[in-house]
Structure 1
């Protein structure tokens, strides 16, 4: 099988699997228990918090563990909104966010919070002017993704953060697609909260995390919760969280090397498209910062879903966008934001690279594209 869908999920690394198995066998106590077994489990959680905080380059805030990136977004946004004063009940997000962010703000809207959805420019970017135009005196929270999971477009968070900081507006970002792929620094980005996920960084599915600045006046979504300092109820998944931290540490050791490999594969894909004269159009240009491991493109004359299924018949895994939005046969908001027609948007496909990706994988994919063209 040729796997080119790392943006959807990654295989579990040997290091993460080893840690998960060892902790499952040797550290099975409930981290909330007061006996020694519970204490050992709590020690693993403490270490994991410190490890992930160090990777995010800010150890002054708090790390709260969740079950996924989706839950991280939901809990971060809703708990931050719960802590907003009565005169700051306005939340801003973008049209190109992960579905979980839209679910979170819709829930807030039903409870009476004013919500604004802003659109990026034709390059898929939220500019300073776009953000400023949406701000109101009562704006209390803004959530803008670090990078889009379908297009790979990186948002200029460090340029937007000062605008919000000077107005005392909280800033959250979904960094599920960037954490472990490029450097994600709380200090450099200037955000107050960040969401990440385990299964995007070669750890088992079932863990996520939220970094929350110590200054953020969040309030629990579920009153009476004791786990994770009230942030999330339920027994904490210590083996998965320990594996999450281990996988993240290993990934950071290879971050620059993997980034170079992804860039080489991306360039090779573009070169081969040109050489083989395939009717596959990408939207990479000098105006956008892009994640090196994600390539979004349009296959002229074929719907993306058809191309994906044809590749699958040949043992190749690609996607037509976010796995969390699969099953909905309509143009992706993230793709539509690039000012393409519905017809073009439905021709969208995404391939994404990872640790095992190779030029041979790309050759097989392009050979399948050529065969598809001849059918």
Structure 2
């Protein structure tokens, strides 16, 4: 099988599996238990918090673990809004956010909160000026994603965050697609909180985290919860957390190397698709605004669903966009930035690379894509 859907989820690395198994044997006790075994687990938790805090440039008391990226987004936004809603009844996001983020803002609308949805421009990027224009004196929260999951386009969150910091407006950033692939810190994004996920970076599923910048105000939304200082109820999955942090540390130690390798693989794949000539559209941004591991494509005369199903017969796994939106009948909102009609939008498909992806796999995949397009 050739797996080219790493933006949806990644396989666990061998080292993450090893860490997970060892932690299950040794650190199985509840971190809140007062006996010796519980104390050992609590110490491991503190170590993991410290290591992650070091990676994202914050303090360990600002690290909270969740069941994944979606819950991280929701809990971060709920806790931030609860603490800062006294500053106003207006919030801002974009129309290309992950469903977990859009779901939160739709719920706020139902409660009478005013929500501004900033649209992506024709280059697939949210306009900094549009966010600034949407700001009001009663804006209490802004959330903009770092990297779009369909296209891999990097959003100008650092510039947005820098402006919001000057106004003391709370800023959340969904970094699920970017963490472990490019530099992500609370400081370089000027964010008050970021959300990240384990299974996007070769760790186990069911683990994620919210990272708060120092002095960020948040409220517990779960009364009577004592776990993680009230941020999230439930016994922590320490084996999963340990494996997650192990993967994060490993990827960060090879960040530049992996990035260079990904650009080479991307270009090799696109070069192999050159026989399609004018029928092929590459949905992307200039290199400085593009994550190389996500390749958005469209071929005239071929629907994305047909390409996915056809490649699947050759045991090649791709997607037609975010797995969290795969059941939707309509294309993702970001497709409006690149295509005028729904027919054009439905031609979109996504190839997403991983560290284990080989040049030979990409050559074979390109050959099959051309074969399918020409039949």
Q: What TM-score does the superposition give when structure 1 sets the normalisation length? A: 0.96
Task: Quote the residue 1:138 is aligned against.
Answer: 138
Q: Is the CA contact (8 Å cut-off) linking 1:93 and 1:118 kept in structure 2?
A: yes
Q: Is the CA contact (8 Å cut-off) linking 1:281 and 1:297 kept in structure 2?
A: yes
CA distance in 2, matches of 1:217, 1:57: 17
CA distance in 1, matches of 2:109, 2:220: 18
1:181 equivalent to 2:177? Answer no
Moved more, 66-75 or 216-225: 216-225
Q: Is the CA contact (8 Å cut-off) linking 1:297 and 1:350 kept in structure 2?
A: yes
CA deviation vs aligned residue, 1:158-203 (integer Å, no higher than 9, x gap): 2111221122100000000000001112111100000000001100
CA distance in 2, matches of 1:267, 1:136: 43
Paired residue secondary structure (1:256): helix
Paired residue secondary structure (1:166): helix
Per-residue deviation at 1:331?
1.4
Q: Is the CA contact (8 Å cut-off) linking 2:151 and 2:284 kept in structure 1?
A: no
CA distance in 1, matches of 2:62, 2:235: 19
Task: Quote the residue 2:36 is aligned against.
Answer: 36
Task: Quote the residue 2:271 is aligned against.
Answer: 271
| 1:143-292 equivalences in 2 (<5 Å) | 143-275=143-275, 277=277, 279-286=279-286, 289-292=289-292
1:374 and 1:287, CA in 2 relative to 1: closer, same or farther beyond 3 A? closer
CA distance in 2, matches of 1:27, 1:46: 13
Per-residue deviation at 1:227?
0.8
Task: Quote the residue 2:77 is aligned against.
Answer: 77
Per-residue deviation at 1:339?
4.7
CA distance in 2, matches of 1:61, 1:182: 24
CA distance in 1, matches of 2:146, 2:288: 13
Per-residue deviation at 1:298?
0.6
1:315 equivalent to 2:315? Answer yes
1:60 and 1:208, CA in 2 relative to 1: closer, same or farther beyond 3 A? closer
Task: Quote the residue 1:13 is aligned against.
Answer: 13
Task: Quote the residue 1:97 is aligned against.
Answer: 97
CA distance in 2, matches of 1:34, 1:109: 43
Task: Quote the residue 1:109 is aligned against.
Answer: 109
CA distance in 1, matches of 2:266, 2:209: 29
CA distance in 1, matches of 2:356, 2:266: 14
Per-residue deviation at 1:106?
1.5
Paired residue secondary structure (1:211): strand
Per-residue deviation at 1:135?
0.6
CA distance in 2, matches of 1:212, 1:291: 24
Moved more, 136-145 or 112-121: 112-121
Per-residue deviation at 1:58?
2.5
Task: Quote the residue 1:343 is aligned against.
Answer: 343
Per-residue deviation at 1:370?
2.4
CA deviation vs aligned residue, 1:55-102 (integer Å, no higher than 9, x gap): 112237600000000000000001100111434221110000000001
Paired residue secondary structure (1:162): helix
CA distance in 1, matches of 2:202, 2:107: 31
Paired residue secondary structure (1:65): strand
1:60 and 1:206, CA in 2 relative to 1: closer, same or farther beyond 3 A? closer
1:250 and 1:60, CA in 2 relative to 1: closer, same or farther beyond 3 A? closer
Task: Quote the residue 2:370 is aligned against.
Answer: 370
Per-residue deviation at 1:294?
0.5
Q: Is the CA contact (8 Å cut-off) linking 2:162 and 2:189 kept in structure 1?
A: no
* Structure 2 unmatched ranges of 5 or more: none
CA distance in 2, matches of 1:344, 1:287: 24
Moved more, 138-147 or 99-108: 99-108
CA deviation vs aligned residue, 1:91-125 (integer Å, no higher than 9, x gap): 11000000000111122222232211111211122
Task: Quote the residue 2:301 is aligned against.
Answer: 301
Moved more, 122-131 or 349-358: 122-131
Task: Quote the residue 2:359 is aligned against.
Answer: 359
